[in-house]
Structure formats: C-alpha cells, structure tokens
Amino acid sequence: MRISVVVITRNEAPRLRLVLESLAGQRLGAGTELEVVVVDDGCTDDTPAVLADARDRLPLRVLRHRESRGRSPSRNHGVEEASGEVVVLFDGDCLAAPDLVARHAEVHAARPQVMGRGETYHLRCTRFFHDPETGTPMPGAEEHVRRMGGDLRAALVTRAQVRERFAEEVAARAEPGIYAGAGPRRLYGLEMQALRAVPEASILWMTAPGQNFSLRRADFLAAGGFDVRLTLNEHRELAYRLYQRGVRMVPVEGARSFHLLHRVGWRDPSDDVDWERIFYQAHPVPAAKLMNVFWLSLARDKDIPEEARIMSLEALEPIVQHGSSFDYDELRRRHPKLAKLS
C-alpha cells in the first residue's frame, strides 16, 4: 500500500524542519510505501531551504503556491496531486511518532471505507519559541523566554531528539489534546472514548481531527474534498459528507502526533460562527445545530442550563436520533453565542 502524507505549511520553517525529520524516521511495515507531499502555501520564510535539505532523506514532492490560498484549498491541492491509495492529512507544526504511518496503513489494509483518527497530543514547552530547536523567541515573547532562564535545554525539541530519542525526550513531555488546557483535553478524551465505546454511532463524524486524519484518496475525491469556504471545522464538514457515503470514522490506536505549540489559546468555534452558518445551510440536520451546544456544555457555559447540557457524544447520539424534551431551538434563539444561526 502506498501512503501519501499531505503536509500543509505556511511560514513555519523551523517547525517544518522537525516535522520532516519525524517523517524521515517512519518505521514502515512490509509492503508499505511512503510519499510526502508538502504544500507550501505562499511561504515567505526559509521553507524552500528546509524542503531542499529534506529531499535526500524523504520521498518528497513539493507543491508551491505563489500566494496563500488557505487551509482547505491547500489540502485539496495536496490530495489531488498525491499518488497514494491512502492519504494522511498533516500539518507543518505537528511531529509524527515513528510508527504513525504504519498504524494508519494497518487500519486501511484491514477495513475498506473508513477514516482514521489518530491520537493527537501537544508539546506546551515550544509555545514561546519561533525555533523550538534553538529557543529563539517568537516576536513579542522575548520576556517570556527570558523568564525561563538561561538554560533552555529542557524546553527545546531538536532533530537529534526526534531522530534518536523520540519516546524518551519528545513523547514523554507531551499532553493529550491538540492544544493546551482543560477544554481541549476534555474534548479529545470524549472523542476517543466515543470512537471506542459506540463505534456505530451516527455522530462520530464530529470526532474528525484537523490533522493526523487518514482516508482513502478515492473517497476524498469522490466527496469533493474540503469546502473551500470553510477555515474552521472544515474537517468535520468533510467527515459528515463522507458519513453520508458510508465511510465511517475509526480510531487509529497508537498513531500519535505532537503539536509544537506556537500560540496561546485557540479559535473558539462558538465565537466564530461563519463556519456554522455554512455548515447548516449545506446540511440542515439537528446535529449541525447541536455541535456548539455540546462544546459550550463541556466549557460549563453559564448560559447553558443544567438540564440542556450535553456532556458526551454518547449523550448526543439519542438526541440527534430521537429528539429531546428540552427545546434546543428556543435555547439557540436566546443564547448570545448561538442566536446567530437561529
């Protein structure tokens, strides 16, 4: 089986260098071939030099955008040009554990028509570094780095660590969830729990991750790829359409990725509702209206009454399938973060 890892990147050359090192160290199973497709989405930093340095260690193909097109168009371009039977969607700031590709390959060899959700972790130690390998601060983060003290070695992530001591010096420092904080960790745990506990549930498309996400290239193309209007939750919207075509989400146990954090916080989907409007216009189904209710419930939002809170995907499934005695439409009409869609 040929696997294409499609990496999108924009102006993150120091992190991309580490990511490519992790992909160069993949331990592939018998009969598995690797292709790495990097989509340079209008980078203006040292990304071309990083890619040139990696060519002698990786089966690398580079697609260059003169100007940035954005996440969804870049992923679509990468998958369209990939040659693998299976594609693993990846980001230019996430390290791959040495057996990540092999784990995805095993799942797709065993089961047709599935999407694979890998295990997503993060490295908090890198969040103030422009270059995690040298400790060079992000612009504006100089004081944060200065307060870390003169010896930054405990916080750095180096190519030697990625290449030679991944388990001991990279994975051992990681925490579950794509971002730091109790909210992302809780959501990650509930998503993986649901994939394992209720594999036949209809709403498991909601567990689709933004990266470390695999599927057959033919399924991706048949579904039309990502909706280019979306810059948030585009992966869930694609997974919803794939579910309508009979493609199911499954966990890829042990396929771990590690986000090299470079920001504080994350985009809150309940604050940015353009994606929700586009989603609901395309798919006017109860689940589309209840996603943000679920996420706000997990965040203990004060405007979600106790009796309306949805605290797991297992609890969401019967509401989607059979309805609820609680009036969620009325909740949406009067909730300040939900009313825009009502």
Transcribe 151-200 into DSSP letters: --TTT---HHHHHH-HHHHTGGG-EESSSSSHHHHHHHHHHHHHHHH-TT
* Residue pair 214/104 in contact by the 8 Å Cβ criterion: yes
Q: How far apart are CA 280 and CA 290, in angstroms?
A: 11
DSSP letter assigned to residue 325: S
Per residue of the chain (342 residues), what is the pLDDT tens digit? 999 999 999 999 999 999 999 999 999 999 999 999 999 999 999 999 999 999 999 999 999 999 999 999 999 999 999 999 999 999 999 999 999 999 999 999 999 999 999 999 999 999 999 999 999 999 999 999 999 988 999 999 999 999 999 999 999 999 999 999 998 999 999 999 999 999 999 999 999 999 999 999 999 999 999 999 999 999 999 999 999 999 999 999 999 999 999 975 556 666 666 888 899 999 999 999 999 999 999 999 999 999 999 999 999 999 999 999 999 999 999 998 887 765
pLDDT, position 321: 95
The DSSP element (H or E) to which 22 belongs, if any, is: helix 13-24
Residue 66, amino acid: R
pLDDT, position 241: 98
Burial class (CB in 10 A: 0-12, 13-18, 19+), 157: buried
* Residue pair 152/145 in contact by the 8 Å Cβ criterion: yes
pLDDT, position 267: 64
Query: Which of 10, 6, 14, 177 lies closest to 101, judged by CA?
Result: 6
Six-digit token string for 89: 């969607």
Q: How far apart are CA 146 and CA 324, in angstroms?
A: 53
* CA dihedral sign, ordered 241, 242, 246, 250: negative
Residue boundaries of the structural domains of the chain: 2-124+174-260, 274-334
Strand partners, 82: none
The answer, as to whether pTM is greater than 0.85, is yes
Overall fold of domain 2-124+174-260: Spore Coat Polysaccharide Biosynthesis Protein SpsA; Chain A (3.90.550)
Burial class (CB in 10 A: 0-12, 13-18, 19+), 245: exposed
